[in-house]
Amino acid sequence: MFIKRSIRLYRTVAILLGLLTLGGAAPARAQLGLGLVPMRLELKLAPGQQQSGTLRLSSESGEKVRIRAEVLDFYIDDKSTPQFLRDVPQEAANSCKKWLSLNPMEIEISKGGFLMVRYTLHLPTEVPEGSYNCAAGFTTLPSAEQQTAGMGVRMAVRIVAAFYVQVGSPAVRGRLKEIKLEPAPPAKDSKVAGWQAVVVLENRGRMYYRPTGKIEVLDAGGKVMETADFPSLPVLRERDQRFIFPLKSELAAGHYKLRADVDLGTGEIQEASADVVVDAPEPGPATH
């Protein structure tokens, strides 16, 4: 298999409405009926400032739920998957984890009940201008009754609220860096490999941004075969972020075009296209 591509990049100016983000404003339900509102908080704070608020944590699992709260780092990996961990050393310079506290840290919610969890962000007096991110995580634990009864294996569920803290007025410095086609691993319950389009967005600034837009796959005649919207993920500061679009179309050997347009949240749409050639697979060894 051989893929070659040429990229043409140009820009136009337009205003787009809409806001996509990691952690939406609507309540979310985990498998055990755990809910959290809000799941995203965007705060503009000054060095030395303290701000408090509440998160509404609820249970609709049909039984009492015990939950442990923890403060987390997070980042988005090269497979476009958010990763929430207790400690991510490479994210230390961009993290607000040390500024965030939660109360209470261990919670028990009655059947169908809810509880307000208080959060407090207390910034140091000297913080460089930029955006910082961290998360509040809530993980289910066996209740006191379940521990006493000695019940067997139970599924643990974690739900998170993402915090974005902006200090000062850092400019968004992003661009559509690359668009390409890659082989994709076989889907679940399938042995046939597929394809995925990949768009790489660059962020060389100290401010995160949330892209919106779409990518299209066109055949050799210019007919659109497939269209997909950008997922609701931010591009965190000072990194390149891959956005992956698994393709439903089967790409036989031939010429195709990938075309993307994206708004980085500044009102400027960036567009790029890539011409790709998929060669026929090489024949296998001869059999007698």
Q: What is the pLDDT of residues 36-62, one digit of tens each?
A: 999 999 999 999 999 999 999 998 777
Burial class (CB in 10 A: 0-12, 13-18, 19+), 205: middle
Token pair of 28 as six digits: 């979310």
Tell me the per-residue pLDDT of 84-115, one tens digit each, with 9 for 90 and over: 999 999 999 999 999 999 999 999 998 889 99
Tell me the per-residue pLDDT of 149-178, one tens digit each, with 9 for 90 and over: 555 556 788 999 999 999 999 999 999 999
Query: Above 90 in pLDDT, residue 262?
Result: yes
Phi and psi angles of residue 32, each rounded to the nearest 5 degrees, phi first: -95, 20
Residue 20 banded pLDDT, cuts 50, 70, 90: very low
Least confident stretch, 26-35, 50-59, 75-84: 26-35
Token pair of 29 as six digits: 């339900």
Say what the pLDDT of residue 123 is: 98
For the domain 5-18+171-278, what is the CATH code? 2.70.50.60
If one compares 254 and 30, the residue with the highest pLDDT of the two is 254
Say what the pLDDT of residue 146 is: 57
pTM value?
0.83
Angle at 214 between CA 82 and CA 245, to 5 degrees: 50
Residues 270-286, mean pLDDT to the nearest whole number: 82
Non-local CB neighbours of 147 within 8 Å, separated by 6+ positions: none
Query: Above 80 in pLDDT, residue 283?
Result: no
- Residue 238: count of CB within 10 angstroms of its CB: 17
Query: Above 80 in pLDDT, residue 126?
Result: yes
Class of domain 31-167: mainly beta
Q: So where are the chain's domains?
A: 5-18+171-278, 31-167
Residues 124-130, mean pLDDT to the nearest whole number: 97
Residue 190 banded pLDDT, cuts 50, 70, 90: low
Residues 207-230, mean pLDDT to the nearest whole number: 97
Angle at 119 between CA 53 and CA 162, to 5 degrees: 95
Residues 116-142, mean pLDDT to the nearest whole number: 96
Average pLDDT in the chain: 85
